[in-house]
């Protein structure tokens, strides 16, 4: 049996924060086919399909303001399928959004419908627990507290049952302009990844109001045909992924050298995967010796391996060596070994811990996951060249030099 305690209000807004984010494209493409949005602060993500806008709202978890003074909303229990039927009056026709939240504020399900003016109804199926049902439409809003005591429902769902004029499928719509909602609290760090065919661009943002995000799409394709995501940081445009090409940009092959002795004897360009594992290469990109960097044709056409000075420009823009690493590192521990101290990835750079290969060909143990190292195009002396290193402990972006025969990751700049 399900017990429903209905407390509804029709004049108090359900959400205190309400931002609308739209998207445009420029440069190599003006079409934004989809946008992948990550809330780095909360660890959540949504995909915004073509033509949709992103609706950012905070969640009011308190139910103390609820009241039962709205006679236009009715709830009845359906013992046959252990659902509840919710009926309400839409003051005006238009888009209506139904959200169900757990009592702690976590969003469980959302549905958006184009409803006519007048009576409308839907069924809600909820597992055992206490929930807040929020309704917001054209000229009206409100919420209800629902206590469900059923044991048969596992996955929450909403099924509209009457008087709806159009069902909007947010994931499949190609032409209708609809809404994709995401929970957002003031100060949350967001990353938008705009995708248009072969092009993809990341924009970092901390929204303070409704706005339009423009993606400057730029071609970044290596000789293997792989297309890289790019990101603008300060005055520079960087790859947001490690290089993974097996060819120079003149289409000549880069030797893949797996033998330790052969690697240590090289004075010409080569690449490898950490531990000679192709799965590592697929995740972290390839490792290149500095001789490959020094050819001048390693990067995709229109791009180059950054000099030490260009790396310094990036690090200085982010506040210096002591803090830049945290702003560059991918968050979480999916790839970085815990604790991944200070990682915010607020730049969208997404630095990865690909480890490295020593000049004698040995792969250090406990290397992948613990540190990321990227070559610069600047040599220090006859044998060493400069690189930047980022560890899993700390927020540093260390400037150092090492033997040119070593294998490190490469990021390119336009």
* pLDDT, tens digit, 9 for 90 and up, residues 19-68: 999 999 999 999 999 999 999 999 999 999 998 999 999 854 333 333 34
Q: Find the distance separating the first CA and the last CA of the chain, reported in whole Å.
A: 63
Please check the confidence at residue 73 and state whether its pLDDT lies above 80. no
The pLDDT tens digits of the residues spanning 139-177 come to 667 777 777 777 777 788 888 866 544 433 333 333 334
Q: Which two tokens stand for residue 209?
A: 């109001």
Token readout for 135 is 């309704």
- The pLDDT > 70 percentage for the chain reads 85
368-388 tens-digit pLDDT: 999 999 999 999 999 999 999
Q: Which of 11-20, 75-84, 228-237, 278-287 shows the lowest mean pLDDT across its residues? A: 11-20
Longest Cα separation, the chain: 83
Pull the structure tokens for residue 407.
């294998």
Query: Over pLDDT 90: what percentage of the chain?
Result: 64
Residue 76: band (very low, low, confident or very high) from pLDDT cuts 50, 70, 90? low
283 or 2: which carries more pLDDT confidence? 283
DSSP string, 91-155: SSSEEEEEEEEETTS-EEEEEEEEE-SEEEEEEEE--SEEEEEEEEETTEEEEEEEEE--SS--S
pLDDT given for residue 81 in this prediction: 65
The reported pLDDT for the residue numbered 303 is 98
Cα dist. 312→204, 233, 316, 395 in Å?
Answer: 21, 13, 6, 16
Over range 170-187, report the average pLDDT.
Answer: 68
pLDDT computed for residue 350 by the predictor: 97
CB proximity list for 67: less than 8 A, separation 6 or greater: 7, 8, 9
Average pLDDT, the chain: 86
Q: What is the pTM of this model?
A: 0.71
Mean pLDDT of 395-403: 97
Spatial neighbors of 372 by CB under 8 A, at least 6 apart, are: 329, 351, 352, 353, 354, 355, 389, 390, 409
Q: Which two three-digit tokens encode residue 41? A: 């602060």
Q: What is the pLDDT of residue 168?
A: 37
Q: For the chain, what's the residue count?
A: 414
- Angle formed at CA 312 by CA 311 and CA 315, multiple of 5 degrees: 90
- Round to whole Å and give the CA distance between 355 and 357: 7
């Amino acid at each position: 049996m399900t017990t429903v305690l209905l407390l509804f209000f029709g004049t108090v807004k359900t959400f205190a924060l309400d931002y609308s984010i739209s998207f445009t494209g420029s440069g190599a493409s003006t079409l934004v086919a989809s946008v992948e949005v990550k809330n780095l602060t909360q660890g959540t993500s949504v995909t915004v399909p073509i033509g949709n806008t992103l609706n950012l709202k905070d969640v009011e978890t308190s139910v103390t303001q609820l009241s039962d003074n709205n006679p236009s909303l009715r709830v009845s229990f359906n013992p046959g399928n252990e659902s509840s039927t919710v009926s309400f009056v839409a003051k005006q026709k238009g888009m209506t959004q139904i959200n169900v939240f757990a009592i702690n504020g976590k969003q469980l399900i959302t549905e958006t419908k184009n409803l006519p003016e007048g009576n409308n109804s839907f069924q809600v199926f909820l597992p055992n627990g206490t929930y807040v049902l929020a309704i917001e439409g054209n000229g009206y809003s409100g919420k209800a507290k629902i206590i469900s005591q059923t044991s048969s429902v596992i996955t929450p769902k909403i099924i509209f049952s009457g008087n709806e004029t159009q069902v909007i499928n947010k994931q499949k719509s190609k032409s209708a302009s609809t809404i994709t909602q995401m929970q957002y609290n003031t100060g949350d760090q967001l990353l938008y990844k705009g995708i248009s065919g072969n092009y993809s661009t990341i924009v970092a943002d901390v929204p303070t109001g409704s706005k339009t995000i423009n993606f400057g799409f730029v071609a970044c394709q290596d000789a293997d045909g792989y297309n890289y995501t790019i990101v603008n940081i300060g005055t520079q445009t960087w790859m947001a992924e490690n290089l993974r090409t097996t060819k120079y940009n003149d289409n000549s092959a880069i030797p893949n050298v797996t033998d330790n002795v052969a690697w240590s004897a090289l004075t010409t360009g080569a690449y490898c995967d950490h531990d000679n594992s192709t799965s590592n290469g697929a995740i972290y990109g390839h490792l290149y010796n500095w001789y490959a960097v020094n050819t001048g044709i390693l990067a995709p056409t229109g791009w180059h391996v950054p000099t030490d000075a260009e790396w310094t420009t990036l690090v200085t823009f982010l506040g210096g060596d002591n803090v830049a690493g945290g702003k560059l590192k991918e968050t979480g521990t999916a790839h970085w070994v815990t604790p991944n101290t200070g990682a915010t990835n607020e730049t969208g750079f997404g630095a990865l811990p690909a480890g490295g290969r020593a000049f004698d060909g040995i792969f250090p143990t406990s290397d992948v996951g613990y540190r990321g190292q990227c070559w610069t195009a600047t040599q220090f002396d006859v044998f060493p060249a400069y690189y930047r290193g980022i560890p899993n402990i700390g927020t540093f972006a260390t400037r150092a030099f090492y033997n040119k025969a070593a294998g490190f990751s490469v990021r390119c700049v336009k």
